[in-house]
Every structure is written in structure tokens, then in C-alpha cells.
Amino acid sequence: MAGKKGASKELKLPSVLDLNEASALKDKLLGLRGGAVEIDASGVERMGALCAQVLVSGQKTWEEDKHAFSITKASEAFTKTLQLLGLNNDQLIAKEIGQ
């Protein structure tokens, strides 16, 4: 199965994902490219639209690369922000790609 070879790498998101964090988030994701990744969103207290866009872009990139990309342990704030932006569970939260 694609994306299951080797252990997935984990990225724990900071509590605040604002405009200032978007570039750093993009860089962190790019550093994990090439294998499965698991995003821990349990500590997110506030997230802006730009960081949500970075995560959606990451999900699409991992899908194209045929690797697993999942967001787990999503905080209520994280989930509500995605819902406000019109994203649902099928589009991002805990979705594993390439399986």
C-alpha cells in the first residue's frame, strides 16, 4: 500500500496558526514531504484561513505523491474553523490519502 511504508512522521501544530505562522507551517510541511505525515491539531486554539489553506495544499500534495496525510486529535477550535471555512471531515480532518 502506498503511504504505509515506514512510520509516518508527526507534526504538532502550535496553539496559534495565524498569518505569521503560515510561512513556517509551509516550510515544516515541505520538510516532511516524501513520506506519510500525521498532523496533531490537538493544541490549536486559533487558526486563520491562510494556515487552513496551507494544510489543504499539503493534503493535495500528499495525495499527488501517493502518501498518507492525516490530521488527528483535532481540537474543537480547529474543527470549528474548518467548518466556518466550508471544509468538512471528508476534505481534510483525519483523511488518509493513497490507501
For residue 36, pLDDT over 90 is answered with: yes
CATH of domain 9-84: 3.30.750.24
Per-domain residue ranges for the chain?
9-84
pLDDT attached to residue 85: 87
Cell of 89: 471531515
The Cα-based distances of 77 to 42, 59, 84, 92 in angstroms read 9, 20, 10, 15
**pLDDT tens-place string over residues 72-89:** 889 999 989 988 888 765
Helix (H) or strand (E) holding 83: helix 76-84
